Amino acid sequence: MFAFAAFGQRNLFAVTGSGAKGLAGRLAMEAAARRRHPGAAGGPGAQPGASFLQARHSSVKADEAAGTAPFHLDLWFYFTLQNWVLDFGRPIAMLVFPLEWFPLNKPSVGDYFHMAYNIITPFLLLQLIERCPRTLPRSLIYVSIITFIMGASIHLVGDSVNHRLIFSGYQNHLSVRENPIIKNLKPETLIDSFELLYYYDEYLGHSMWYIPFFLILFMYFSGCFTPTKAESSMPGAALLLVVPSGLYYWYLVTEGQIFILFIFTSFAMLALVLHQKRKRLFLDSNGLFLFYSFALTLLLVALWVAWLWNDPVLRKKYPGVIYVPEPWAFYTLHVSSQH
């Protein structure tokens, strides 16, 4: 019996010893591997932010490998629809709905349209940016969205008062001081207040509204390129949306008096297309949609200016080299005055 116990004890020591040797060997091999690759994630030589950088790098690679984004039919349709209804339709709704429903000392139906526009448009722009195949600078996007909302809100107040004045006889084709209901105000400092209101509406509000708007569109456009020539085409639905989209931008450029900003953005887009073409990169369906919409807008603005080139009254209101009359100034001069 003692012999059997001694025999088992010797076997246990042998097994335990061989297991310890095997474990020690594996630990030695792992240590040698870490010495050969000191930057491996989780090793003692790993840099503090190595795992984060690797994760970020892998996510960028994944975005690049995802390929070209498909045409965003839903976003472009909602974007075009709300532009027509909430922006272009604002002043029309104010003329259509009875004045008794929205008294002059209360917000009009157009003001509620503008409030909805100030909420929905930034949301759609953020959705558009999220679908961009290229990673865009988030800080610049956030600052642009905040500035856009602030500028559109300033315009909301000024535009509301301006359209309310129309019911009192204010004429958009005349300057503030030349308007019959303004020029005889006493004391005359009241006229300065109305000019300040006009400045907030037409200059400060428009600048803070449209500059970030076109900046966001251009940043999105910069990510709409593909190395595959076959992907540089638009589906039929995109072609149908180009006409209402380009027509809306015509209204935006003329009524907003932002022709210089628009032409600068258009030339920047064209320069980017030519630059990327040298790298054998082509516009995808979303980039083509924006590019063709802007091209149609430029054509419509040229036709609009040529048609009203010799109008003496509008020429007086819009002096200088850049002559782009506003559609509502044309309306009050040639349409409403005839009724």
pLDDT tens digits for 142-165? Answer: 999 999 999 999 999 998 998 888
At 273-304, the pLDDT tens digits run 999 999 999 999 999 999 999 999 999 999 99
Question: What is the model's pLDDT at position 215?
Answer: 97
Least confident among 19-33, 44-58, 238-252: 44-58
Question: What is the model's pLDDT at position 21?
Answer: 46
At 23-40, the pLDDT tens digits run 445 545 555 544 544 444
Question: What is the model's pLDDT at position 168?
Answer: 84
Model-level pTM?
0.76
CB-CB contact of 210 with 219 (8 Å): no
Over 50: is that where the pLDDT of 179 sits? yes
Least confident among 50-59, 230-239, 315-324: 50-59
At 315-334, the pLDDT tens digits run 888 888 889 999 988 888 88
State the average pLDDT over residues 94-103: 87
State the average pLDDT over residues 161-175: 84
52-88 exposure pattern, b = at least 16 Cβ within 10 A, e = fewer: eeeeeeeeeeeeeeeebbebbeebbeebbebbebbbb
244-269 exposure pattern, b = at least 16 Cβ within 10 A, e = fewer: ebbbbbbbbbbbbbbbebbeebbeeb
Question: What is the model's pLDDT at position 82?
Answer: 96
Question: What is the model's pLDDT at position 18?
Answer: 46
What is the residue-averaged pLDDT of the chain? 82
Question: What is the model's pLDDT at position 68?
Answer: 61
At 202-224, the pLDDT tens digits run 899 999 999 999 999 999 999 99
